[in-house]
Structure 1
Amino acid sequence: MSNVRGHISEIHILRAIACLLVLFVHVSATFYYQQGQQFNDLTFFINQISRFGTPMFALISGFLLFYQARFKRFDFSRFVSSRFTKIGLPFLFWSIFYLLFMFVAEGVNPLEVGEKQFLVNFTFGNSFYHLYFMSIVFQFYLLFPLLQLVRSKKSWAVLLGISILINVYSLKVFSPGEVGGLLGDILGQRAFLPNWIYFFIFGGFLAYYWEPLSSFAKRYKGLLGVAVILITLAAVWEYKVMGSIASNRVTNIINIPIITLFIIGVGSNITRLKWTNMFMSKIGALSMAIYLAHPFVLYCFQEVAPQYIWKTSLFPVIYLIILLGTILMVKAIQLLPWNQYILTVPKIKTQQRIQQSKYSMNS
């Protein structure tokens, strides 16, 4: 599956699964509000187990950057231009879009909190509930020019250990409330990079150890599958004891690598069937676009759907409506001029194109 450098099918599968999980979180959260602000056993299970999706997105963002850095000379100006186009401009567009939309639809004035607080909220992706992740990625891009200088595998093992310490300290020890003022508010943001740094660094670690780790994943996918089942059971115990838990919780430092390796291990099984391969490729390619647009579709559906439709038994139907509705919205936006500044949709080589490329190099 991964014979062509730069084209790794397993990563597109990870993208697709991460996207679908994030959608599960937000659809189940909508059921919470539509069912009297309470979860039942099924919707709470879906909401909590699906929270593996966001750290997987972070891992993928790190992996793609560092995997390219292994084989290509770093061009700072090209990097800045590319990231600003693919992440910066879509972040600006959707932040402004959702602020204007909520002002029109709900009368929410984001400037009521004051100019300084507004700038903090905007910068850290608080314009709408899902945009914090875009802010995290953008912060990571500020750090990447320095990190891409780390090229040896041993250095990456050390860096991974350091990132664990930073992440745990930020989540469990550091108290931003003790700082106070605007700085304390910045340090306490959900999108503050140290709260997520481990997942990006693990993405880089995976990029530099890709060959042995992917080989390990495929060889021991059965054992990894058992581990994923145990992780799921442990996660159920965790949220039942502690209540709702965050996507970047400390236990995910262990959970996410195991889940990721399992998905890599079964990647060939997923793509063996034509329809699953096509589905995962399409969702993987549109994953970031779906991430940006789906809250708007979900909000509009929530406003027009009758109350009686919010039955737990209809969860799969509503989930499918939101997914398909978002894809249609994305496809419509792609018809607009300059749509590449609104949505990030990577080009994915098909197997036929890969074979043609290999043939042309060999001829």
Structure 2
Amino acid sequence: MNKPRIVEWTQLRGLAFLAIVMQHNIAEYIYRADIEQPDSVMLTMIYHLTRFGTPTFVFLSGVMLFYHHSHTKPDYPRFIRKRFGDIYVPFVVWAFIYWLFVRIFTPEFWLSGMPDFRSLVRELFLPQTGYHLWFVIMVFQFYILFPLFLAGATFIQRRIEKITRFTPMQSVITLILIGMALYTLLMKWSYYDMGGWTASLPQPWSGLLQYRSYSWLMYWFYFLLGAVCAWSVDSWRSWTARVLPWMVCLFIGMYIWLGYDVLRGSGDVVNLNISTYLKPTTFIIIMAQMFMFYGFLVLLRGKDTPFQRLLTWIGRYSFGAYLVHALVIYCIAYITRPLTLPGWHLPVTLLSFLVTVATALAISWGLSKLPGSRFTVGLQRKKRPGRRLHDTVIPGTVRTSSAERTPSASANRSPGTS
């Protein structure tokens, strides 16, 4: 079936990418010894504006997968083979690049003789030098399990259609609220209880809990929420527009609470881990932000402003930019870490953010023009008679043919990464 592009998904992906880059730039500067308290507080405030980034990528992964397979069951071997080439291979390429990049600037690397390739193998499972690549490992689990998610969602959809006591909308909202309650309980266990469980359980269970952020189990709600959006796009748009004022109020309240929570729980150095994704209060602000930004993008539908065009372009190349952006931060940090910046950490962070975004997107765009771009930035150029197109893959997307593009819809793109 021909499926039109949904432009706000690309724009939301662009916003999520910008949020993630800002988070990682803040983390580079907020823990420095010479930072002053006003800069710490301001960076913490900005940090809580960006919490929606990674979960939104999971949400969009679910959106794109369910959208393109709402009426067709995927050929699983072909499906996994394509996703492996589009997402996992770029992950392996960049894991090697980060591993090598960090080591060539370490004297021990040149003096030790044979490199420690065991550390490279470890990077493929527990990325450290490419610290952001954990997301690709996590989101790829949704691809592997997608047929099970699709079968379950289809079963629930058919059951809802047979319910006569409630309308389909009431049934869906009830299921979403139940899912939110269960997921909030999971976040409560993760943040308050699982640390104690890790110390008392034997291997491999303690190891699995220690690295629970790498597991799809900790993000399943966002993925299935994507199914709701994908299967009822018009209803989703209408609903997010109606609840927009409430989401704004909820976001403001949670924004104040999270800022207070971090400042209260930190000592001389701000501890951003207090606002981890796997925490009930953080989950609430993430949901408020996702619905809020989606509602704003819905209100902008039908317009063609420079801001929308920029977000669409960013979203199209954001997967490759996501993969490379930490390398850009490393390069900037190579210059800034020897410097003392008291009173300047806030402006330097903002400047570093702008440079990182521009450079990472430029590299992603440039690599997309080269042969083999599918295996470096998840973008594959396909020639069509009379014109040239970019097919883009993101964490959770599938490629569409030219017949699936409407004349008015801009080409979509991205976190894998994921």
TM-score range, shorter chain: 0.7 to 0.9
**Match for residue 382 of structure 2?**
none
- Check the 8 A contact 1:24/1:319 in 2, yes or no: yes
Greater RCO, CA 8 A, separation 6+: 2
Tell me the percent identity: 21
- 2:179 alignment partner, one of 152, 160, 168: 160
The match for 2:290 is 260
Counterparts in 2 of 1:236 and 1:113: CA distance versus 1, 3 Å: farther
The change in CA–CA distance for 1:146 and 1:133 in structure 2 (over 3 A counts) is same
- Alignment partner, residue 361 of structure 1: none
SS in 2 for 1:276: helix
Residue 332 (str. 1) matches residue 366 (str. 2): yes
Change in CA separation of 1:246 and 1:323 when aligned onto 2, cut-off 3 Å: same
Cα distance between partner residues in 2 of 1:50 and 1:122: 27
Q: For the pair shown, which has the larger CA radius of gyration, 1 or 2?
A: 2
The structure richer in helix per residue is 1
Q: Counterpart of 2:164?
A: none
Specify the alignment match of 1:312 in structure 2. Answer: 346
Determine helix, strand or coil for the equivalent of 1:160: helix
Structure 2 residue runs without a partner (length 5+) = 161-171, 267-271, 380-390, 393-399, 410-418
Q: Which of 186, 207, 219 is the matching residue for 1:196?
A: 219
DSSP-derived class of the 1:187 partner: helix
Counterpart contact for 2:22–2:353, Cα < 8 Å: yes
Specify whether residues 293 and 164 from structure 1 end up closer, same or farther in structure 2 by C-alpha distance, changes over 3 A only. Answer: same
Q: CA deviation at 1:269?
A: 4.1
Contact 1:228 1:259 in 2 (8 A): yes
Of 292, 308, 325, 1:277 maps to 308
Per-residue deviation, residues 294-331 of structure 1 (Å, max 9, x unmatched): 11111112213573675423443332111111122222
TM-score, with structure 2 as normaliser = 0.73
Deviations 1:198-235 (A, max 9, x none): 22232233333443232111233233222222232222
The one-letter amino acid paired with 1:211 is D
- Which residue of 2 is the match for residue 56 of structure 1? 56
- Residue 323 of structure 2 corresponds to 292
Letter matched to residue 92 of structure 1: V
Q: Distance in 1 between matches of 2:106 and 2:221?
A: 37
1:8 Cα deviation after fit: 1.4
The CA distance in 1 between the partners of 2:408 and 2:256, in whole Å, is: 45
> What is the CA deviation profile of residues 83-129 of structure 1, one whole-angstrom value per residue up to 9, with x for unaligned ones?
101211011111111111111123577x99995x8755531433421
Choose which of 403, 407, 411 in structure 2 pairs with 1:355: 407
Displacement of 1:62 after TM fit?
A: 1.7
Q: Any unmatched runs of 5+ in structure 1?
A: 358-363
Q: Give me the TM-score of the superposition, normalised by structure 1.
A: 0.83
Paired position in structure 1 for 2:130? 128
Contact kept, 8 Å, 2:30 with 2:345, in 1: the verdict is no
Query: How far did residue 283 of structure 1 move?
Result: 1.0
Which one of the candidate residues 9, 22, 25 is aligned to 2:23? 25
